[in-house]
Structure 1
Amino acid sequence: MESRKLSSTSGNQSLRPRARLLKTLGSELISSDKVAVIELVKNSYDADASTVVIRFKGPLCQGKGSIEVWDNGHGMNVDSIQNSWLDIATDIKRKHSKSEKGRRVLGEKGIGRLAAARLGNQLTLITRSSLEDEINLSIDWSQFDRDNAYLDEIEISWESNSPKIFNGLYNTELNMHASEIGMNNPSHGTLIKIDELNHTWTDKDFIELRTALSRLIRPNAESSNLFSETVEEDFKILLLIDDNNSNFEKFSGEIGFSNDFQIPNYKITGFVGSDGRSEINYFNQQTNESELIKEPFISEFSDRSPEVGPFSFEINVWDRDKVSIEENLRISNPGRVSPKVNDLKGFRDTLNDLAGVSIYRDGFRVLPFGEPGDDWLGLDLRRVQNPSMRLSNNQIIGRVMISADLNPGLKDQSNREGLISSGAYDDLQKILLIALNELEQRRFKYRRDNTVKSEKEKGGLFKKFDLSEVRGTFAKNYPHDIKLISLIDKKNKDIEAGVAEVQQVISRYSRLATLGSLIDRVIHDGRTAVTFINQSSRFGENKLKSSKLKDLQEISSAINHFQNVNKQSKILSSLFNQIEPFGGRKRGRPRKIDVAEAIKKSISNLQTTADDFGVLLESDYCSHTTFLDESEIMVVLTNLISNAIYWTAKNQKETERKVFISSRVNDDSSITFIVSDTGPGVPAENRENIFDPYFSTKPDGVGLGLSIVGNIVEDIYSGELALVDDSQYPGATFEATFRRRV
């Protein structure tokens, strides 16, 4: 071609993509060979196939071997080949979102066929539409790499002939395995054959492929009956591997779901309408108990409807300890002998591979949700903050069922690797975490109660430190050996004395909540204090920068901000003082403070948060001086007021969102701080649990706030933290009573 003159000052010119662009798109938009195979299976699904066979022929190493994808879908005719398959990025599926059988099509961008370029160098397409000729099409992807070749210079050859593959006769190429699952003498369908593989396949690749395929189609309709009218139930996948030089044949077979994971320890299922109204069902396999939970999400969307919905979900949870796994294997596999170590390891390894929360759109899986390492709900980070209550990603197999037509806000990224970030996506995450929190609360209480019961049945922690049973055996068998029996009696008394001493030490140190809990407290309250410090210092700095030196009012405001910084630093100092006794130093005595000032400061620190949530903070207190640590009072009030603001914000009517803070001096000179709110209150079933460390009903709660308050009030000041009934406020009322130090 002639070179264009550089002297031109204007002109018109069309874009001419190089031929290699097509292969580049295939490699860049399709992230792995596993995803490429899945894209081809999706095309078969869109073609209304009831069966797809994926056949590997060895040797499965780079530059050799082949992959075949057979289906018995409606196939293609000449018009479909010319105006659809060869039309890259066609909008036909976008215009016609339903297949001939009524399936909601999965590929709308028209680029899924580029997956073949990712897998191998040569492509052969054989397809036949019912009662028409069979079409053969070939592509040599290497020609797209020619130097200086443009895309419009590459020609694709095809021909139409009488059917040889899809002729309705028995096909030895598919063999008996395919006919067993429904690929029985197809007279229409599509075969895509890819030769000269770009990748050497390994055991690990086939394990990942089988796992991905097993999760591709939802295994049952229990959690998605909302969309049963739009989802074709009959879709089977068969994996065949023919390679005489390897042991890959062990991965052949119909793709299914492991029996070991049909019965979870806990399960929660539910449906969420587009208006946020919903109900969910919780089930505990160990107790065979179920519970209907109505409207768990409505309070989170008091001011608006969620941008996502309707959709349904199912979250299955397994405990990974040895006893739970053994029990699960016995239930899910009747007749199996007692599980061995390999079974336990195999169960955990398989659960690792399957774990995660997957999204299924119109019955078909959306990648990469639920893939290993894809913790899109942030469950592992959430568990780090509260390991006793929260679940990790590797304990969960979850399924979210959505419809493309009913959830237009959930759209694919161009690379088929997730959904575009949007308000609908954010609401989906929020709702699922709320549902998971409902399960976690009930699981936490069950495991705690079960552990307490188990310890009682065992006779407690120190039952094994008792020689009474040994003494009885010797006294029966050797009644005349008085010396030996006397020695056992003496040692038993020594053990009893030692146990009593250990129990005293444990009792003493348990009130300190252990060093681990102390560190948790530093993290919990320290993070809150640091947030205040950062905000106040930033406000103060901005005020000084924007003010004139003569503007006394602005300078005074800036100084006030920095004073708040100083107050928050005192909270950090108090936390460090709590750790100081481990260094052997003696704790100093609190100074005299005004209770009213401590309340004012606590309210001031949380005023911005209250304003953001539309919550009115009211107070009623009298000036009273006492010997208390001001920063400890503020830690108590900050936690109680923060909780009250959070729950009061759940009140649908903003005019009724109020938190009331007050104090009183009791007859014994103790001081009681009262925090009341107009929120939903504490459900009766949770009243005994809210003071336990790590128990939280907030979806992202750590569960340490009330535990920390109780530690300060009860252990340091010999006081009392209580949830009381208050007829004036319909929500929760907490009273924290401080007494003099002992």
Structure 2
Amino acid sequence: MCAAWGMGLNFRVSARTILHLGSELISSDGVAFYELIKNSLDAKASRVTVDVFYRLDYVVYSEILRELGEDRDTPEVLRERYIRSLRRPRTWQQLRDYALGSIVQGAPGVDRLVRRLTNASTKARFLEALRAANQIEIDDDGEGMSLDILRDVYLTIGTSYRADQKRDQYAAEEDDEVEASAPEVILGEKGLGRLSAMRLGDEVLVVTGQAGDSNWNQLEIDWNDFADAANDDLDSVEVEPEVGNAKEEEERGTLIRISALKSEWSADKLAGLAIEQFSKLSDPLGGTPAPPLTLRFNDIEVEIPRFADFLLEQAHGRLRAALHVAGPGAPRIEGTMEYLLHNRSRQLRLSTLELKTTTELDVPTVERIGPFNLDMYWFNRRLLTKIEGIGNLTVVRRILAEWSGGVSVYRDGYRVNPYGGPNDDWLDLDRDAFSTSGFKLNRGQIVGRARITQRGNPYLIDQTNREGLKENPEKQAFVKVLSAVMEIYRQYLNEIDRDVDRARRVTAAEALERFSVEDERLASLLPALEDALRGSEDGRDLTRKLRGTMSELRAAAEVVQRAAGAQEKERSRVLHLASIGLMIESLAHELYRATSAGLETIAQARRSSNPVNAGTSLRVLDSQLRTLQKRLKVLDPLSTNARQTKEAFELVDWIEDIVNGFASRNEGRRIAIETSVLPDDGELNVKAVKGMFVQVLENLLTNSVFWVSEQHKERVRLRIARDGGDEPVGRIDVVVDLPSRRILVTDDGPGIPQERRETVFEPFFSTKRQKQGKGLGLYIAREVAEYHGGTLTLGAADEHGQIHSVIFEIGNVDV
């Protein structure tokens, strides 16, 4: 072992490390401003002013620094190479004249800048004046900082000062020392905001003071000093606050002046930040007031757009949802889905069990997300209209583009970047929208926000670089839950659109019937018309043309009728194949399980030298093969040759064969699956398509087994049921009601909420996890039933609003 390990050595931190921290942790100008403004708000400022003073063309400024070898953002070797490449390097005096010729006329303080540049007697004085040409000032009237706080807190990177304030506040709330219903929000925590100034410029001056102090305190930092110190220890660069000018005792606040700016600034750039960042600092849809913020560029105020409330009146849909993690039935989602365009609304409810199956999350992880609220408005951009007093359609779409972008996140009313920004699709909304018809719910159509809190969502932590939430299981669960809710809302919008389309749609049969009625009416009028027109050659010619047109229309009607018949046959074929596909998927799993068990039985028989054991193994194998044979027998009517063939059979026996075959292969699930007949021992000889009953009942039973099983797992988790034992974990009853010509499938699972009575029959709607549900089972079952003259509906809801039964009306079967 190296001897140094026993010497108690500590890490050394080089001076340039702080520069790396600033560049990595503060990733954009918008984030830098947000951190600085947040510090002012934490200081309880009632006024925050951001001034950008632009007095010298930035391109010229950068060129001068490069030519003098003072561009510290460029590695030294490249700086030297650039200087050597200059054919005629200019002196600093020549560069001063160049700078004086590039002054922004009329900018505030430009006369003083010209004097400083003109009077500079040395290169160092020239550089000092040059770096002070362009500045950013953040000025507030907050609590300010004492000399001790400036030294011990502001100069401590990663200080726990604000975190300690939060902890003390929470402790006081628990001790009832402060009112917890409207707690003070402390936005900062990590102690890294002071690095924001480094992002914007190389030099910073802090002037600050508290009420009661007789003097301002000030601190000057030149980040280039840390670059010059390079590999020296961090504390080799002396930075010490000092007492500044005198002030009135009641004066307080903080001024941060940033010089030697690192990027170009313009009124347009600041206006862009006002739209993309400053306007959205606080929750536009909530009750959080806008920060008391003023922006100015060269003393001209830059407007920070206020949220366009009138825009919400143009919304075509709205979704409100909340995750509850406390109280009965928690965690659960509750909310309201609205399709405002069609004046439709529906309650949104996801139980604990449905949350698990939809998101594939375990309950403790969902609980650790903490409560949140989602409020979202949806706009169909094609249906937007001009707004009186606001502007034409182009103006309305531009305003929508400023505020849309998907779902933003606000913690205690203040934004968590970059969610909902122009380049962020954290919920994959665009990808999901692109994969569906109508491109519904893409980010450009959504104005919305999810609201969280520091207290309620302690596991949803900001990344150190302020670029979103820290990647952890709770953040991933937050995304999954929000995505699941958004997908349910998308399905709801599509369902309403289909309902509206169906109401407007005229089927081929309806059109042909209408044509037939009109054709007969016209044929009855034709003789009278011929008599009226017989007197002239033109009249007779018109009559002949009319008869010819009627013949062509009848021929076209026949073509439509044949096409409609072919389309119906194709629809039947597609439905049949889809249904078969679902069952083959299930059958493949059963075959694999059965053959694996059979091979293991054979292997045990071979290994055993005891004839008794071998005989037992053969009997087990025989039982396994018989079970598989029953299953294949039930599927035989679904073959290509048999699927549309009506045959005579006794209905009750066939239903019992289907149910018993299904029950035998699900025996290990410990679910009681039973068939009963009304009246007892009743029989019904029918002539019908046997495959129809297989397709419908298989889908219904499979659905029931899944939810009964999932409910049992949830009861085990809640310790109101135990896993293991011989008792059934649930039951499914199939009742064949002969007088009513109906089959009733009932289970004691969690049930279907009343508000989803029709939604569950929509294609691709499912609250099962992705690998276990395609959202086609009930849709195909209903389509198959209706194709054969039957119907499939849900039964009555219980006192809790849950439906536990499906009614299969078998329709008119030949007896």
In 1: Cα distance, 2:317 partner to 2:34 partner: 30
**Aligned: 1:85 with 2:154:** yes
In 1: Cα distance, 2:429 partner to 2:378 partner: 15
One-letter code aligned to 2:806: T
Q: Which residue number in structure 2 is paired with residue 505 of structure 1?
A: 563
2:28 to 29, 32, 48: 32
SS at match of 1:254: coil
One-letter code aligned to 1:731: H
Q: In the alignment, is the contact (CA less than 8 A) between 2:39 and 2:193 conserved in 1?
A: yes
CA distance 1:75–1:442, change in 2 (3 Å): same
In 1: Cα distance, 2:209 partner to 2:595 partner: 69
SS at match of 1:414: coil
Following superposition, the deviation at residue 13 of structure 1 comes to 0.9
**Aligned: 1:275 with 2:326:** yes
SS at match of 1:96: helix
Q: Which residue number in structure 1 is paired with residue 218 of structure 2?
A: 136
Q: Which residue number in structure 2 is paired with residue 181 of structure 1?
A: none
CA distance 1:659–1:158, change in 2 (3 Å): same
**Aligned: 1:709 with 2:709:** no
1:645 to 694, 703, 706: 706
In 1: Cα distance, 2:375 partner to 2:623 partner: 47
**Aligned: 1:265 with 2:316:** yes
In 1: Cα distance, 2:481 partner to 2:697 partner: 30
**Aligned: 1:677 with 2:743:** no
In 1: Cα distance, 2:591 partner to 2:203 partner: 60
In 2: Cα distance, 1:256 partner to 1:438 partner: 31
1:332-366 CA-to-partner distances (Å, cap 9, x unmatched) read x3345663xx4576467446xx2222222111112
**Mapping of residues 3-42 of structure 1, within 5 Å:** 10-42=6-38
Following superposition, the deviation at residue 537 of structure 1 comes to 10
**Aligned: 1:161 with 2:244:** yes
In 2: Cα distance, 1:561 partner to 1:366 partner: 62
In 2: Cα distance, 1:289 partner to 1:684 partner: 16
Q: Which residue number in structure 2 is paired with residue 723 of structure 1?
A: 794
**Mapping of residues 111-190 of structure 1, within 5 Å:** 111-132=192-213, 133-146=215-228, 147-162=230-245, 188-190=253-255
**Mapping of residues 55-454 of structure 1, within 5 Å:** 55-58=51-54, 59=57, 66-97=135-166, 103-132=184-213, 133-146=215-228, 147-162=230-245, 188-197=253-262, 207=272, 210-221=275-286, 233=289, 235-242=291-298, 252-259=302-309, 261-263=311-313, 264-269=315-320, 273-276=324-327, 280-281=335-336, 283-286=338-341, 293=347, 297=351, 307=367, 311=371, 313-323=373-383, 325-326=384-385, 330=386, 333-335=387-389, 339=393, 342-343=394-395, 346=398, 349-350=401-402, 354-372=404-422, 374-377=424-427, 379=429, 387=437, 391-420=441-470, 425=475, 428=478, 432=482, 436=486, 439=489, 443-444=493-494, 446-452=496-502
Following superposition, the deviation at residue 732 of structure 1 comes to 1.9
- TM-score by structure 1 length? 0.69
CA distance 1:606–1:88, change in 2 (3 Å): farther
One-letter code aligned to 1:142: N
Aligned length: 666
CA distance 1:684–1:550, change in 2 (3 Å): same
Q: In the alignment, is the contact (CA less than 8 A) between 1:619 and 1:662 conserved in 2?
A: yes
SS at match of 1:155: coil
One-letter code aligned to 1:159: E
**Mapping of residues 464-613 of structure 1, within 5 Å:** 482=539, 487=545, 490-491=548-549, 494-495=552-553, 497-498=555-556, 501-502=559-560, 504-506=562-564, 508-509=566-567, 512-513=570-571, 532=589, 550=607, 599=659, 602-603=662-663
CA distance 1:88–1:524, change in 2 (3 Å): farther
1:48 to 44, 48, 61: 44
Percent identity between the two aligned chains: 23
Following superposition, the deviation at residue 255 of structure 1 comes to 3.8
In 2: Cα distance, 1:8 partner to 1:46 partner: 45
One-letter code aligned to 2:318: K
CA distance 1:7–1:527, change in 2 (3 Å): same
In 2: Cα distance, 1:124 partner to 1:161 partner: 12
In 1: Cα distance, 2:267 partner to 2:586 partner: 50
SS at match of 1:693: coil
Q: In the alignment, is the contact (CA less than 8 A) between 2:704 and 2:747 conserved in 1?
A: no
Following superposition, the deviation at residue 110 of structure 1 comes to 0.9
Following superposition, the deviation at residue 73 of structure 1 comes to 2.4
CA distance 1:688–1:189, change in 2 (3 Å): same
Following superposition, the deviation at residue 253 of structure 1 comes to 1.4
In 2: Cα distance, 1:642 partner to 1:86 partner: 63
Q: In the alignment, is the contact (CA less than 8 A) between 2:734 and 2:743 conserved in 1?
A: yes
The structure having more radius of gyration, on CA atoms, is 2
Q: Which residue number in structure 2 is paired with residue 735 of structure 1?
A: 808
CA distance 1:401–1:688, change in 2 (3 Å): closer
Larger helix proportion of the pair: 2
One-letter code aligned to 2:730: K
One-letter code aligned to 1:732: S
In 2: Cα distance, 1:516 partner to 1:134 partner: 81
SS at match of 1:370: coil
The range that moved more, 196-205 or 635-644, is: 196-205
1:618 to 673, 679, 696: 673
Please list every run of 5 or more consecutive structure 1 residues that lacks an aligned counterpart in the other structure.
Answer: 169-185, 223-230, 244-248, 469-474
In 1: Cα distance, 2:389 partner to 2:264 partner: 42
Q: In the alignment, is the contact (CA less than 8 A) between 1:273 and 1:309 conserved in 2?
A: no
Following superposition, the deviation at residue 153 of structure 1 comes to 1.5
In 2: Cα distance, 1:418 partner to 1:519 partner: 46
SS at match of 2:673: strand
SS at match of 2:448: strand
Q: In the alignment, is the contact (CA less than 8 A) between 2:44 and 2:143 conserved in 1?
A: yes
CA distance 1:8–1:311, change in 2 (3 Å): closer
SS at match of 1:36: helix
Q: Which residue number in structure 2 is paired with residue 693 of structure 1?
A: 763
Please list every run of 5 or more consecutive structure 2 residues that lacks an aligned counterpart in the other structure.
Answer: 63-133, 171-177, 357-361, 520-528, 678-682, 722-727
